[in-house]
Amino acid sequence: MMTDVAEQSGSRADGGDGCVDPGTGTQEPMAAARIAEVRQRIDEIDRALIALWQERAGLSQQVGATRMASGGTRLVLSREREILERFRAALGADGTQFALLLLRAGRGPL
């Protein structure tokens, strides 16, 4: 059975009265409203990221197909290194992992 962090630590997040909103994790109405507002924006960003991911993968697949149809190689390692470095410089180690996922989405696994 799963328990939440507050139960594991022996304290209750609701201050003991049991009125915590399970969707926001707070009993304060103003805080709950702010959390809901911010989460709405997060959901918008997630939808945009998914659309961009799909567009990027499709474009990358077009590049690869065009390159191979013209007698080129399946991938260009120098280009992949450039992309990895761009994401690493902007986002650190997580950026490298993110770039690897993007590259795989566009070209498939190696």
For 21-76, the pLDDT digits (tens) are: 888 899 999 999 999 999 999 999 999 999 999 999 999 999 999 999 999 998 99
**pLDDT score of 8 more than 80:** no
pLDDT at 18: 63
CATH class for the domain made up of 26-107: mainly alpha
Domains of the chain, residue spans: 26-107
pLDDT at 35: 95
Q: Is 75 helix (H, G, I), strand (E, B) or coil?
A: coil
Give the C-alpha separation, 29 to 79, whole Å: 50
Amino acid identity at 4: D
pLDDT at 5: 45
pLDDT in tens, 80-91: 999 999 999 999
